[in-house]
Amino acid sequence: MEIRTETTGGITVVSLRGDIDASTAPQVQESVLPLVTAGSKLLMDMTGVPYMSSAGLRALLSLYRQVAAKDGKLVLVGLSEEIADTMSITGFLDFFAARGTAAEGLQFLQEG
């Protein structure tokens, strides 16, 4: 799992590359949770994530809850069709703002 972070105009962009499963989900949480502060704006670029297991979904939901508890915003971008379908069917997508591209995600966070 490769995790890169950068900050653009007060928005933290987290780019993930690799599968998010039981072995990598804890690494994602350990890397991203410290970035969640009061009013934080996070963009999770999932373009490089071909597969996500239920452990990955749980990690994202936990992250969402932390962001919401601190009045922050979180947007997912670049979800593969398979991951988006899984998140939609399971109801997980109802919790997240999702956009197709990083540019759309940044615009969403800047407007809100």
* Helices (runs of H) and strands (runs of E) counted in the chain: 4, 5
pLDDT at residue 66 tops 90: yes
Within a domain: 107: no
What pLDDT, on a 0 to 100 scale, did the predictor assign at position 3? 97
Range of the domain at 58: 15-101
Within a domain: 42: yes
pLDDT at residue 112 tops 90: no
What pLDDT, on a 0 to 100 scale, did the predictor assign at position 104? 97
Give the mean model confidence (pLDDT) for residues 63-74: 96
Within a domain: 52: yes
Give the mean model confidence (pLDDT) for residues 80-107: 94
* CA separation for the pair 24, 1 (Å, rounded): 6
DSSP 79: -
Domain count, the chain: 1
CB 74 within 8 Å of CB 62 = no
What does the pLDDT look like over 8-64, one tens digit per residue? 989 999 999 999 999 999 999 999 999 999 999 999 999 999 999 999 999 999 999
What pLDDT, on a 0 to 100 scale, did the predictor assign at position 7? 95
Q: Say which CATH number the domain at 59 has.
A: 3.30.750.24
Confidence band for 2, pLDDT divided at 50, 70 and 90? very high
pTM: 0.94
Within a domain: 7: no
Q: What is the identity of the amino acid at 26?
A: P
